[in-house]
Amino acid sequence: MVDVLDDLQWRGLLGQSTDEAALRSALAEPLTFYVGFDPTAPSLHIGHLVQILVARRLQRAGHHPLLLVGGATGLIGDPKPTAERQLNDAEVVAGWVERLRGQIEPYVELDGPNPARMVNNLDWTSQLSALDLLRDVGRHFRVGRMLAKEAVAARMASAEGISYTEFSYQVLQAMDYLELHRRHGCTLQFGGSDQWGNVSAGVDLVHRVQRTAVHGFTVPLLTKADGTKFGKTESGTVWVDPALTSPYAFHQFWLNVEDASVDRYLRVLTDRSREDLEALAGRTAERPGAREAQRTLARDVTALVHGAAAVDAAEAAAAALFGRGDLEALPEDVLGAALAELPHAVVGEGARTVVELLVATGLCASRSAARRAVADGGAYVNNTAVADGDAELADDQLLQGRWALLRRGKRTLAAVDARPR
C-alpha cells in the first residue's frame, strides 16, 4: 500500500501545507477532512474535478470526507484578484448548490463503512446574527492579516478596490473549518492553491478558539506547459455537465492536450499506477506522433466523467470524422452516430449559403467572422475547403441525401442536418 501523502506528492497534487511532518503523522490514522466548492456556476468544471479526485484518493486511503457545497459562501463570493464579482440571486445559488451536490456525489463512496458526507455552510450561517458574527467570530480576526491575503492585497492595489462583502469572505470560510471541526472532528482542509489564504485562516481560527492544531494543504492548480490557464477551449470552460460540454467535446479536449502536459494530467486525473504511467511516458517519448498518452488520457477521463459508452461513441465519431476515408463511403448508421456527437443545425426548406451555415452551427460567431474564415481558407464542407462563402449548399453535396459536415480550421466540427423536405 502506497502512502497517500507520497502518492499525492508524486502526482503533483501537493502544494503548500501546514507543518508537513505533522500532517504526515496525522494521516497515519484515519482522519476527517473537508474540501469546499462554491456554487458560482451551474456546473463544476475540470478544475474542480482535480479536487474531487484528491478527496476520493483520501477516502480510499481510509479518511473520512466532508464535501462542502458553499450555499453561504456562494452568496458572498471569494474575492478574485482582478475584479469584484457580480452577486448572484439567492434562489439561483440554491439551485446551483443542488446541482453541484449531484455532480460531486458520483465520485465518492456515499455508503459502506466509510461514507462521504455532504455539508452546506448555509446550515450554520443563515441563522447567525450580524452582532454574533462581529462579537464571537470577528474578534478572532486581525485586519492586518486579512489585508495581507493575496487576493485582498491585489484588489487593494487595484483601482477598483474591494468591497466589505468580499473582504469578509475569508471570515465565513474560516468559520466553516471551525464548525466542521466542532461538529465532525474535522482536522484537515485542502483546496486549490488560490485557497491557501482561506485554508490557513481556518487553521488559525480553529487554533485560536479550540486550541488545537489542525492541518491544511493546497493542490496546485493545473496549468498548461507555458503556465497559462488550463481547462479552456475557444468556446469556453470545459464543464463536467454533459449539457454544457458534450462528451464528444470533452473527449476531444483531452485528446488535444499538448505533449508537454499530458503526463502531468495523467498523474492528476487518472488512477493509473506509477509504473504504468512511467512505461507510457517512455512509449510516448519514442513515438510522440502516435499520441498514445493523449488517447489514454482522453479515454480514462471521459470514462470517469461520462462513462465507458461515451468513450466508445466519442472515439467512433472521431474515427469516422477525422479518418482519411471518404465521408461518402461511411455507412449511414456510422455517419449518423458520428454527426450526432457534434453541435448541429437543422436547416429546412431554404437553401443556405456556407456563411449562413457556419453561423447557424455556431462554428463562427458572426457572418463577418464566417466570411473571414472562408477568406482565410479555413472553412470546409465535407472536408473540402470552401472557396465561395456565398455559395449555397447543393443537394448533391449532402451525405446520405441529408447531412453535411462543416469544419472550421483543423478540428472544429459541426453537422448540418438538411431534413428531407
Partner RNA sequence: GGCAGGUUGCCCGAGCGGCCAAUGGGAGCUGACUGUAAAUCAGCCGGCACAGCCUUCGCAGGUUCGAAUCCUGCACCUGCCA
Residues that bind RNA (CB under 7 A): 156, 159-162, 225-226, 228, 233-234, 252, 255-260, 288-289, 291, 294, 318, 322, 359, 365-369, 371-373, 376-378, 408-412
Nearer to RNA, 213 or 365 (CB): 365
Shortest distance, position 367 Cβ to RNA, whole Å: 3
Q: How many other β-carbons are positioned within 10 Å of the β-carbon of residue 256?
A: 13
> How far apart are alpha carbons 300 and 5 in whole angstroms?
23
Q: Which long-range contacts (CB under 8 A, 24 or more apart) does 270-276 make?
A: 270/296, 270/297, 270/300, 270/301, 270/304, 271/300, 272/296, 272/300, 274/10
Shortest distance, position 364 Cβ to RNA, whole Å: 8
Shortest distance, position 401 Cβ to RNA, whole Å: 26
Shortest distance, position 118 Cβ to RNA, whole Å: 35
Nearer to RNA, 207 or 372 (CB): 372
Listed residue (366, 367, 353) closest to 406, CA to CA:
353
> How far apart are alpha carbons 344 and 328 in whole angstroms?
19
> How far apart are alpha carbons 205 and 201 in whole angstroms?
6
- Considering Cα of 290, then 294, then 295, then 297, what sign does the dihedral take? positive
Shortest distance, position 10 Cβ to RNA, whole Å: 24
Nearer to RNA, 145 or 371 (CB): 371
> How far apart are alpha carbons 39 and 95 in whole angstroms?
9
Nearer to RNA, 212 or 366 (CB): 366
By CB atoms closer than 10 A (0-12, 13-18, 19+), residue 214 is: buried
Q: Where are the alpha helices (DSSP H) in 64-195?
A: 73-76, 90-104, 122-125, 130-132, 143-148, 150-157, 164-167, 169-184
Query: Cell 443537394 sits at which residue?
Result: 395
Nearer to RNA, 160 or 278 (CB): 160
Nearer to RNA, 90 or 285 (CB): 285
- Considering Cα of 12, then 15, then 20, then 25, what sign does the dihedral take? negative
Shortest distance, position 168 Cβ to RNA, whole Å: 15
Shortest distance, position 250 Cβ to RNA, whole Å: 12
Nearer to RNA, 18 or 252 (CB): 252
Query: Cell 464542407 sits at which residue?
Result: 381
Nearer to RNA, 85 or 372 (CB): 372
Q: Are strands 236-237 and 232-233 parallel, antiparallel or unpaired?
A: antiparallel
Shortest distance, position 99 Cβ to RNA, whole Å: 26
Nearer to RNA, 72 or 379 (CB): 379
Q: Are strands 412-418 and 344-347 parallel, antiparallel or unpaired?
A: parallel
Shortest distance, position 299 Cβ to RNA, whole Å: 12
